A and B are shown apart, each in its own frame.
Chain A
Amino acid sequence: MRRARYLARRVAGVLVTLWGVSLLLFVLLQLQPGGPAEAMLGITATPSQIAALNRELGHDRPLPARYLHYVAGLAHGDLGESVIFGRPVTEVIAAALPTTLKLGAYVLLLSGIATVSLATLAASRRGGPVDHVIRVLPMVGLGMPSFWIAVVLLFLFALRLPVFPAGGLQPGLVGGLRSLFLPAVTLSVVVSAILVRSLRRGLIDTMESDHVTAARARGLTGARLLLGHVLPNAAIPTLTLLSLVSASLLGGAVVVESVFALPGIGQLLVDGFRRHDVPLVMGVALLTAVLVMTVNLLMDVVHALLDPRVGPR
């Protein structure tokens, strides 16, 4: 009951934040020099063309009316029409979203495996050379912009050693897994670099805790001790961190999709930005906010399930 109330409050908080994001996007849209029409048509447009597009976009009406129109559109899932595609933004995004989601799932899988194994290795050899290397590696990983990791991987495993395709998304399950592998590894490097340190800390703290000593005293060792008693408790702070990472993961996807020419929402965003397709850019921005908030909410649910103490006192 208490937990349900807590989650209901979190959902309400998410909705308020999303409203804030939509308001922010609306305000920025209005702030554009010359209004959205002039920005979209570029400097070669005639005043009459600009006026016509402004009328079409409803930009000639007073501000409150424009805001109401914008909110009503959002409520209906109407994000306007993309300038470069000439189709509704929602349609364009819906076509691209699956690629990004697949990439995201792939990254979670790979970085999950990497984080758990590296952190366990480091924590079980605490203070040794292996531990040291695993603690320093993230510092290097975090200093590398994701696009550069992508370029290096592209060079090594698509050009020098042509194991993976250099770009594009191949059809079919195997093709998809192959063409998404290097992009997913790129982002996993970034994500694991953030998570490994936290999980290592969590593992060490948990291994020293009383309930683990008790489990050890009962004769538990190895995988049963680790999976049954240590990991679930040690993972809680790392899961919280993961919800913070979700935004940067999505930002990384924007970049990596462009490097590997993957037809996802990141590619849309960059194309839209380059060609000044304001409705498309705003639509993708709003979607990233929704995705990040959804992940955060999911993490809260998982957190509440793992830790009975979660919730308002």
Chain B
Amino acid sequence: MSDIATVRRRRVRSTGLLIGVAIVGGYLLAALFAPWIAPAGPHELNVADALARPSAEHPLGTDDLGRDVLSRLLYAARVDLALGVAAAVTAYVLGTMVGLVSGYAGGWLDLVLTRVMDVVQTMPVIVTIMILLLVIGRGPVGIVVALALAGWVGYARLARGTVLAARNLDYVAAARLAGLGHRRVLLRHVLPNVWTHGVVFLASDIVASVGAIATMGYLGIGLEVSAPEWGRMISAGQAFLATNWWLSVAPGLAIVVLGLGLALVSDGLTDRLTDRLGR
């Protein structure tokens, strides 16, 4: 590819990254400042004003109990984002650690750990989550733990692969020869190579986590609290799809736009990373 084309492509990509960061930042701000931005409280009932069409007072209308949909959407961002990010980050840390140990140790430990990864990946994520929720329970912590235990394998494989490549590099061998212990070599010399790759994956994994939380909310098998949640809003609105379609479509769009933002971030980061590595 010509240099000009490369530069142009890179510029398009960094614009994409910028847009992505702006979208994700917007969500974070909305979630953080929901109590100040939202026109009403998430549980404020007004049955007389139920199923109102969008208006200046209620930009996205009201639901069947007369609650302001925009406000609920903003408050739901807190639940979905907090749980989604917490689950993805937990999976990232857990998976990277397991992959690090597995790749660095080798031998029987590596064999056992990769087998465990195979087993976990054999079942669909949603099925694994459901089984874990049966055991752990459906509180916020339970949801985060179940999602993380179902989703760590991708990170572990990524980390393990990077470690296997890094293990034989000269500077790692030099660190060992210099008499450094395994722990120090792992954390100081191998880990810095590993975590950056995981971060790219993390951005797209947050989308998957939020999607899983919303899916469970929609199916009525998710979080057992009264706080508004995007998935539950979609299923609650489904009964009024013929007349008030925005009740279901608005929370769905909230998820889709967040997904798009995170995909742009992930893509942009990949580009930055490969540029830095000179590939």
**From residue B64, how far is it (CB to closest CB) to chain A in Å?**
16
CB contact between B219 and one of A155, A270, A292 (< 8 Å): that residue: A270
A269:B127 contact, CB within 8 angstroms? yes
* Smallest CB gap from B245: residue in A: A155
A281:B241 contact, CB within 8 angstroms? no
- For the complex, would chain A's binding face be called helix, strand, loop or mixed by DSSP majority? helix
Say which one of B35-43, B48-56, B180-188, B254-262 lies at the interface with A: B254-262
For chain B, the bracket of interface size reads: 35 or more
- Give complex CA distance A310, B267 in Å: 32
- Known interface pairs A151-B248, A281-B130. Does A293 touch B122 (Cβ–Cβ under 8 Å)? yes
**From residue B265, how far is it (CB to closest CB) to chain A in Å?**
11
Contacts of B118 in A (CB 8 A): 17, 20
Q: For chain A, residues 210 to 225, give those with C-beta under 8 angstroms from any C-beta of chain B.
A: none
- Give complex CA distance A272, B245 in Å: 30
- Give complex CA distance A67, B75 in Å: 46
For chain A, the bracket of interface size reads: 35 or more
B124:A247 contact, CB within 8 angstroms? yes
**From residue B149, how far is it (CB to closest CB) to chain A in Å?**
10
Contacts of A20 in B (CB 8 A): 115-116, 118-119
Contacts of A16 in B (CB 8 A): 115
- Give complex CA distance A130, B133 in Å: 44
Please tell me if B195 contacts chain A, counting CB pairs below 8 Å: no
CB contact between B258 and one of A28, A39, A143, A247 (< 8 Å): that residue: A143
A25:B131 contact, CB within 8 angstroms? yes
Contacts of A254 in B (CB 8 A): 124, 126-127
Contacts of A32 in B (CB 8 A): 134-135
Please tell me if A273 contacts chain B, counting CB pairs below 8 Å: yes
B123:A151 contact, CB within 8 angstroms? no
Please tell me if A302 contacts chain B, counting CB pairs below 8 Å: no
- Known interface pairs A143-B258, A145-B215, A254-B126. Does A276 touch B134 (Cβ–Cβ under 8 Å)? yes
**From residue A168, how far is it (CB to closest CB) to chain B in Å?**
15
**From residue B223, how far is it (CB to closest CB) to chain A in Å?**
14
Please tell me if B173 contacts chain A, counting CB pairs below 8 Å: no
A28:B259 contact, CB within 8 angstroms? no
Say which one of A3-11, A201-209, A282-290 lies at the interface with B: A282-290
What is the 8 Å Cβ interface bit string for chain B, positions 250-273, against chain A (1 contact, 0 not)?
001001101110111001000000
Q: List 29 A-B contacts (CB under 8 A).
A: A17-B119, A24-B119, A24-B120, A28-B134, A28-B135, A32-B135, A139-B267, A140-B259, A142-B207, A142-B259, A143-B207, A144-B252, A144-B256, A145-B211, A146-B215, A148-B214, A148-B234, A155-B241, A155-B248, A155-B249, A247-B121, A247-B122, A251-B124, A254-B127, A258-B219, A273-B134, A281-B131, A289-B122, A292-B122
**Extra A-B contacts (6), CB below 8 Å, given A145-B214, A284-B127:** A25-B131, A154-B238, A159-B241, A247-B122, A255-B215, A273-B221
Cβ-closest 5 pairs across A and B:
A143-B259, A251-B124, A20-B119, A148-B252, A145-B211
